[in-house]
Structure 1
Amino acid sequence: MFNSINRFFSRLFRKRNDGLNFNRRRKKVDFGKIRYILVFVLELMAVIALAYGVVIAFGKQVECSNSSMEPTYKTSDKLLVNTITYKLSSPENGDIIAFKPKSNVNASYSVKRVIAVPGDTIYINNGRIYLNDELYKENLDVERIENAGIAATPITLLDDQYFVLGDNRNSSEDSRFESVGFVSSEDILGKIWMKYPF
């Protein structure tokens, strides 16, 4: 019995000595594992940043709040906006844009089609649009315009003025009326590129 107690204490004492032994070999740092973890973390951060950038650039969502864009888009359709394209180029005839009417930051975004761009002369006669003294050719079937508004006489757009119309021409509040007027580039959120869900 005395021997077993003695062995117990000698083992205990040896373990304590091992724990206090400063001359034992230190474990080597595995730089391969550290490099792997760092590369993984950096790749993960890059993927998150890229996903965030894509959502910001192409995933901004607006709602078509009324019937002014029928039949292209219906009331309450969710639309995705490309917010990058007009930082690289300017709106063109036929583009559908989301914008704040009259720089009203409290208003919801309005969705309309660009008909005329800076430098163009536009007027509406006998229910039809004339752009630079030529009949405006459209890729969709639209009804004749009953109210020409301010476009009853020719208007030449100045720098940074865009003339927009809804596709549902007789049920649209657009550039023909003072409440919307001409749209400037600083009021444009971006170009509508897709309806959501797809």
Structure 2
Amino acid sequence: MTDKTATPVKSTEAKEDGGLYALLKDLISIVFFYLLFTTFAWGAFHIPSGSMEPTLEVGDRIFVSKLAYGYNRYSFPFDPSFLPESRFLADTPERGDIAVFTLPYKNGDDFIKRVIGMPGDTIQMKEGRLYINSEIVPRDFIREVNYTSYDGYDRRVREYEETLPGGLKHRIYERTDSGALDNTPLYVVPLGHYFMMGDNRDGSADSRVMNDMGFVKYAYLVGRASITTFSLYNCDQGKDIFCPAGIPLGRFFNSLN
């Protein structure tokens, strides 16, 4: 007798093809929304050097708000040349912002520094002290810090809290007040440009090096760093960072200023 109620069964090959198609569709959707999110909302970056210590540590992963300064060609991966440098939804940085920017004259690499000088400002370092518009920037000593740097060198630095014009307070490191970049000429920031410095003042090649980074053009800004997400910081460096079982939880989800 024939069972007329039996339901046809698809072959194993058909099931596998359907599963692979569904997986591929899911992966494409994930990649699409990730690219959409990181292009128009928050870019994801990692910290490869110690130039922003102690604010940012090597191994930190951060989110950068691209909406903060608006969008142009440098907001997109690979800096597409068919897009203009002029900005859509443009806004300008504030002094003290931690900014990510790209430098086309340095292979299009991305950098992260603090906005110290605004257009029209004068900036100078004298004996390790920062002067903005001829006024010394106050700093208060916090402590001495001994640690092993990410590249294996023993470091002894003095940690200060610096107060920028406008009232923003942030921490800096100084190894010495007589380093290579602790006495500089007087810089006048051109219109449409910004003067960038690292918080690790003796470990940062920044706008003080005119033949390398120099003034940073407004068009080159990518976004403002807002928060750490997680970190691969090496807990063996010896800093006072909460690291249970070698996991740097003290670097997770920190707001940045």
Give the match for residue 187 of structure 1.
Answer: 220
The question of whether the paired residues in 1 share the 8 Å contact of 2:99 and 2:224 is answered with yes
Give ranges in structure 1 of 5+ residues lacking alignment.
1-48
Closer, same or farther: CA 75–52 of 1 in aligned 2, 3 Å: closer
* Deviation of the 1:50 alpha carbon: 9.7
* Deviation of the 1:154 alpha carbon: 1.4
The question of whether the paired residues in 1 share the 8 Å contact of 2:38 and 2:44 is answered with no
* Deviation of the 1:68 alpha carbon: 0.5
* Deviation of the 1:104 alpha carbon: 3.6
Give ranges in structure 2 of 5+ residues lacking alignment.
1-31, 71-89, 139-161, 163-168, 231-252
The question of whether the paired residues in 1 share the 8 Å contact of 2:55 and 2:171 is answered with no
Give the distance between the partners of 1:68 and 1:166, measured in 2 at CA: 5
Give the distance between the partners of 1:111 and 1:55, measured in 2 at CA: 17
Closer, same or farther: CA 67–50 of 1 in aligned 2, 3 Å: closer
Give the match for residue 157 of structure 1.
Answer: 189
* Deviation of the 1:55 alpha carbon: 4.5
Which amino acid letter does the alignment assign opposite residue 58 of structure 1?
A
Give the match for residue 83 of structure 1.
Answer: 66
Give the match for residue 111 of structure 1.
Answer: 112
Which amino acid letter does the alignment assign opposite residue 90 of structure 1?
T
* Deviation of the 1:51 alpha carbon: 9.0
Give the distance between the partners of 1:147 and 1:107, measured in 2 at CA: 26
Give the match for residue 121 of structure 1.
Answer: 122
* Deviation of the 1:64 alpha carbon: 1.2
1:169 aligns with 2:169: no
Which amino acid letter does the alignment assign opposite residue 173 of structure 1?
A
The question of whether the paired residues in 2 share the 8 Å contact of 1:65 and 1:110 is answered with no
Give the distance between the partners of 1:52 and 1:108, measured in 2 at CA: 19
1:140 aligns with 2:132: no
State the TM-score, normalized to the length of structure 1. Answer: 0.66
Larger of the two Rg values belongs to structure: 1
Which amino acid letter does the alignment assign opposite residue 140 of structure 1?
H
Give the distance between the partners of 2:133 and 2:199, measured in 1 at CA: 20
Q: 1:75-114: per-residue Cα shift (whole Å, max 9, x none)?
A: 121111111111232112100011123x247343111001
Alpha carbon RMSD of aligned pairs, Å? 2.4
* Deviation of the 1:126 alpha carbon: 1.3
More strand by share: 2
Superposed, 1:6-155 pairs within 5 Å as: 55-87=38-70, 88-101=90-103, 103-104=104-105, 106-137=107-138, 138=162, 139-142=169-172, 143=174, 145=177, 146-148=179-181, 152-155=184-187
The question of whether the paired residues in 2 share the 8 Å contact of 1:60 and 1:83 is answered with yes
